[in-house]
Structure 1
Amino acid sequence: MNSETRNDARPALRIIPREQHTISRKNISKAALRVLYRLNEAGYDAFLVGGAVRDLLLGGRPKDFDVATNATPDEVKKLFRNCRLIGRRFRLAHVVFGPEIIEVATFRGTGEEEGAEGERHIVDGRIVRDNVWGTIEEDALRRDFRVNAMYYDISDFSVRDYVGGMQDLQDRVLRLIGEPVTRYREDPVRMLRAARLAAKLGFSIDTAATAPFEELGPLLAEAAPARLFDESLKMFLSGHGLKSFRMLEQCGLLKFLFPATARALKRGDEALRALVEQGLANTDARVAEGKSVTPAFLFAVLLWGEVRDVAQQQIARGKDGNEAWARAALQVVGEQCQRVAIPRRFTFTMEEIWSLQPRFEQVQRKKVLRLLAHPRFRAAFDFLLLRAHESPAIRELGLWWDHAQQLPHDTLAAALPVHESGGNDHEASAPASAARKRRRRKPATKSKPA
Structure 2
Amino acid sequence: MLERFRTQYAAYKAIHPRLQLYALIDIAAIPDNRQYALSDIIETMPRVSLYANIGLDNLAETGPVLVPCPEPEGVEPLRLIRVLLGLARRDSRLVSWLWVTHEVEPLVDHLQTLLHARLESDGQESWFFFHQPAYLPVLYRTLPEDSHRYMFGPCVAWWCLDFHGALVELPGENLPIPTAWDVFPVPENVEEEIYRVGAPAQVLAWLQRARPDVLDNTLDANEQLQRITPFVGRAFGYGLTGKVDQGVYAATGLLYGRRYDEHPALQAVLTRLQKSRQTLIDAYMAVGDTVWREVGEAARLRAAEAAAQEYHASLMERGYTFVRVQILNDTDIPRRKIELLSSGESYPGSAMLGDVDARGFEATAIGIASARVPVPGTAVTVKWIGPTGASSDEVVVTGDLPRADGEGVAVVRFARNWRIYVSMHADELKLQVRS
Bigger RCO of structures 1 and 2 (CA < 8 A, at least 6 apart): 1
TM-score relative to the length of structure 2: 0.27
Structure with larger Rg: 2
TM-score by length of 1: 0.27
